[in-house]
Amino acid sequence: MAVHVALTGATGFLGLRLLRLLLDTHRSLTVLAHAGSGDALHRITRFFELTGAPAALTAELPSRLRVVETDLARPRLGLTERAFQELADTVGTLWHSAGSINLEGDLPELRRTNVEGTRQVLELAAASRLRPRVIHVSTAFVAGARREGVAYEDELDADDGFENAYERSKYEAELLVRAWSGQHRRPVLVLRPSILVTDRPPHPELPAHPLLVVERILRDAPRAAGHPPVPYGGTRAGRPRVRLVGHPACRLNLLQVEHAAEVMVRLAARTPSGGVDTYHVVHDRDVPGPVVLGLLERLAPLAIDLVDAAPDPPTALEALLGSYPGMTAYLSHRRRFDDTRVRSLLGASAVSAPVGPAYLWSGLAPRAEGVPAPPGPPAAGARSALRP
């Protein structure tokens, strides 16, 4: 029986990029797809077609990918006992990339996907006679609600609380991973990416990156609050004004998803220590918050002002946006994610190209009709420094 690399979340924003890179070094892969979707192979094929993969590679996908429909929230992944064991005994390496990134989700919902899903994936690894290595994709935001200072890779505690249920659920999933590694004496690689973005224009058949979700909320909120449509472009005058709690020196860590996938695959190729190896997969330069707000203002369009305290009383629009604390909390963040280990292991190739306004605009602007063209061509070298 063939031994495979297995991947959950293969049709997601990051998972598709991981799949593409893993096919460079593995003849065949097992995709653990969501049960009942029935279209995983089609979605993967469309991603390859839309992103310019070689036609020969795309044509080989049906023979190189084994799709197994599973349910991460159910015991044995929703499989029969026999099917579960047969799957386990073909897995040599298990990448767990699936999960919900819903910043506004409630904790029970997110636990079902992010915590119980991780538990079932670990059970699959434990059941395998091949003792597969587990590679768990977490998030840098398990650092929680600490908004200043430096977040280190060895840290994992809940002392500062969390900005939202998503962060807590990913923290709890990491606790499971660490406990499993100790119990079974098995190596685990934990990868903590920051906010992943792309300069590839939005497309209805491609998964959206997180900033597009924020853009949608900001774009739809004025209409929901009863404001008439405002033309795109022009000055801030005449736009609905929104006061959001934030710090003028706030910053966000945004990383190109292609670069993140390449760093992850390279880290996975290294010899494990035997325990839990944790790495921040982040950009070495944060993006100033006002840069991101400026882009969102052009897309919404709104006039966004950062203030020290919540408006009292808030306007209808401010009250509506204030109901999305999972999004607005990050406007107060000024902390830094330490990635010394990654840079020491991978050297200069771990450093990503800058993420500037032109790069971000390319991945956001085409979503809305009538949005003016960006100011000048995209920055040269905006794509990943590791792969053309």
What's the whole-number mean pLDDT along residues 63-84? 95
Residue 388 in domain = no
* Residue whose C-alpha is closest to residue 210's, from 193, 191, 194, 196: 196
Q: Tell whether 49 and 155 lie within a shared domain.
A: yes
pLDDT of residue 381: 33
Q: Tell whether 42 and 127 lie within a shared domain.
A: yes
Residue 49 in domain = yes
Nearest-10 Cα torsion for 273, 278, 284, 285: 180
Q: Helices marked H in the chain — which ranges?
A: 15-22, 40-50, 55-64, 81-88, 107-110, 116-127, 165-184, 210-224, 257-268, 289-299, 316-321, 325-328, 340-346, 357-364
Q: Tell whether 229 and 310 lie within a shared domain.
A: yes
Q: Tell whether 141 and 218 lie within a shared domain.
A: no
Residue 375 in domain = no
Q: Tell whether 305 and 266 lie within a shared domain.
A: no
Residue 272 in domain = yes
Residue 383 in domain = no
Which SS3 state, helix, strand or coil, does residue 6 take? strand
Q: Would you place residue 231 in the very low, low, confident or very high pLDDT band (cuts 50, 70, 90)?
A: low
Give tens-digit pLDDT for 325-361: 677 889 999 999 999 999 999 998 899 999 999 999 8
Give tens-digit pLDDT for 9-40: 999 999 999 999 999 999 999 999 988 777 99
Q: Tell whether 99 and 156 lie within a shared domain.
A: yes
Percent of the chain clearing pLDDT 90 (strictly above): 66
Which contacts of 348-353 are long-range, i.e. CB under 8 A and separated by 24 or more positions?
Answer: 349/266, 349/385, 349/386, 350/263, 351/284, 351/385, 352/255, 352/256, 352/259, 352/283, 352/284, 352/384, 352/385, 353/256, 353/259, 353/381, 353/382, 353/383, 353/384, 353/385
Percent of the chain clearing pLDDT 70 (strictly above): 91
Q: Tell whether 186 and 51 lie within a shared domain.
A: yes
Q: Tell me, what CATH number does 113's domain have?
A: 3.40.50.720
Give tens-digit pLDDT for 146-200: 999 999 999 999 999 999 999 999 999 999 999 999 999 999 999 999 999 999 9
pLDDT of residue 360: 92
* Residue whose C-alpha is closest to residue 152's, from 282, 51, 58: 282
Q: Would you place residue 59 in the very low, low, confident or very high pLDDT band (cuts 50, 70, 90)?
A: very high
Residue 161 in domain = yes
Residue 184 in domain = yes
pLDDT of residue 316: 87
pLDDT of residue 383: 32
pLDDT of residue 321: 81
What span, in angstroms and rounded, lies between the C-alpha atoms of 87 and 97?
18
Q: Tell whether 69 and 202 lie within a shared domain.
A: no
Residue pair 292/211 in contact (Cβ under 8 Å)? The answer is yes
Which SS3 state, helix, strand or coil, does residue 55 take? helix
Of 69 and 224, which is predicted with more confidence?
69
Count the neighbouring beta carbons within 10 Å of the beta carbon of residue 255: 22
Q: Would you place residue 253 in the very low, low, confident or very high pLDDT band (cuts 50, 70, 90)?
A: very high
Range of the domain at 230: 198-252+286-334+354-367
Give tens-digit pLDDT for 105-137: 899 999 999 999 999 999 999 999 999 999 999
Of 15 and 221, which is predicted with more confidence?
15
Q: Tell whether 121 and 267 lie within a shared domain.
A: yes
pLDDT over 80 at 3, yes or no: no
Name the strand (E) or helix (H) holding 32. Answer: strand 29-34
Q: Tell whether 79 and 94 lie within a shared domain.
A: yes
Q: Tell whether 41 and 179 lie within a shared domain.
A: yes
Residue 343 in domain = no
Q: Tell whether 60 and 42 lie within a shared domain.
A: yes
pLDDT of residue 235: 65
* Residue whose C-alpha is closest to residue 280's, from 100, 103, 149, 141: 141
pLDDT over 70 at 58, yes or no: yes
The overall average pLDDT reported for the chain is: 88
* Residue whose C-alpha is closest to residue 342's, from 275, 299, 279, 250: 279
Residue pair 323/103 in contact (Cβ under 8 Å)? The answer is no
What's the whole-number mean pLDDT along residues 274-281? 96
Residue pair 191/264 in contact (Cβ under 8 Å)? The answer is yes
Q: What is the number of domains present in the chain? A: 2
